[in-house]
Amino acid sequence: LCSCDGDCPNNEKSDDCPRHLNLALARKGCEDCPRDHICCVCLGEEVCVPPVSKKPGVCPRRCLDFGNCAESCSCDSDCSDHEKCCSNGCGHECMPAVIVKPGHCPRSRHTSKRCAEFCSNDSDCPDNDKCCSNGCGRECMEPQIGER
């Protein structure tokens, strides 16, 4: 099991049990847990606890280089208000959360001559624009709303 969603492969969800309490998700039991709690196992006993809180936003896109190989956080709750616990390519550290703007990027037509990274995430773009691939680099574009 992984302890934070960011540690899980293929966008799987974590067990959501607070790691600092050494809890594991119970596969059965705890029928009397309140709706906003989950059932975890601690020292062989099933306990009802609130799930680990996840902060809004996503981790910033990682460049190809690797960061410090230390584990300075394990979940978002280890970080300050507007930071998330993110992989740096080797370990985990608190990084400013990136807010994903609504809508989706237009399909890349691979026709752009602008082969540069003008943005790295939606936060770099003005107003409602999103940071999108132009087929060769990334630039701010007006989002498409609705289904792809």
Model pLDDT for residues 51-77, shown as the tens digit of each residue: 776 788 888 876 656 777 888 888 888
* Single-letter residue type at 122: D
Which residue would you say has higher pLDDT here, 99 or 64?
A: 99
Q: What is d(CA 127, CA 136) in angstroms, rounded to the nearest whole number?
A: 23
Question: What is the pLDDT confidence band of residue 4, given thresholds at 50, 70 and 90?
Answer: very low
Q: Specify whether the CB–CB gap between 112 and 135 falls below 8 A.
A: yes
Residues 38-47 have pLDDT tens digits of 777 777 777 7
Q: What percent of the chain has pLDDT over 70?
A: 70
How far apart are alpha carbons 74 and 61 in whole angstroms? 18
Task: Please tell me if the domain spanning 54-99 has the same topology as the one spanning 100-148.
Answer: yes
The CATH code for residues 100-148 is 4.10.75.10
Q: Could you tell me which CATH class the domain 54-99 is placed in?
A: few secondary structures
**How much is the pLDDT for 26?**
57
Contact partners, residue 5, CB within 8 Å, separation at least 6: 11, 12, 13, 14, 54
Q: Does residue 97 have a pLDDT over 60?
A: yes
pTM: 0.54
User: For residues 99 and 107, what is the distance between their CA atoms, to the nearest angstrom?
Assistant: 21
The residue extents of the domains of the chain are 17-49, 54-99, 100-148
